[in-house]
Amino acid sequence: MDWPSVLDVGAGIGIFLVGAGIFVAMVALARLFARVGKTLDEVDRQIAGIGKPVGEALEHIEGISATADETLARLGGAVGALESVAKGVSGTTALVRQAISPAIVNIGATLSGLSAGLRRLVTGKSVREGSEELVHHGK
């Protein structure tokens, strides 16, 4: 037996086995890609059915958004008008308070003076004298 021939036959068988292994791996990979292809076809079919309702929903949302924007713009104008009215009312309130406060104080002082005068006229004593008498007599 010739060793170089045995080595050549062994190398040939080894290369054949490597090729057969690669062939088996490629067949398995081809089956995998076939299943992935079927899965992607099914996903495409399902997405095609969903596409139209999703598009309609997005158009509806866009319409709602436009309406909301218009409403907010109108509300902004209304808020601006209310702010200007509130400023006017605040200014008017301050003016009225400044005008009426001294008059109320004067009316209160006048009524207090009238009641003290009437008390003195009726009882003949001032408020202080009457309260001191009550304290001294134990009433």
d(CA 101, CA 90): 16
Task: State which residues of the chain have pLDDT below 70.
Answer: 1, 100-101, 103-105, 125-139
Total domain count, the chain: 1
The residue segments making up the domain with residue 35 are 3-137
Compute, in degrees rounded to 10, the torsion defined by CA atoms 84, 85, 89, 90.
Answer: -30
d(CA 10, CA 28): 27
**Distance, C-alpha 6 to centroid of its chain:** 83
